[in-house]
Amino acid sequence: MKYVEAGVEELDEERLPRLLHLKYRVTADAIKILGGVERILSSFFDF
pLDDT in tens, 7-43: 666 667 888 899 899 999 999 999 999 999 999 988 8
Q: Which domain holds residue 20?
A: 2-45
Residue type, 42: S
Helix axis angle for 16-24 and 27-34, nearest 10°, is 90
User: How far is the C-alpha of 3 from the C-alpha of 11, rounded, in Å?
Assistant: 7
Q: pTM for the full model?
A: 0.65
Domain total of the chain: 1
Burial class for 47, CB neighbours closer than 10 Å (0-12, 13-18, 19+): exposed
Per the CB < 8 A criterion, the answer to whether 40 and 20 are in contact is yes
Q: How far, in Å, CA of 43 to CA of 47, rounded?
A: 6
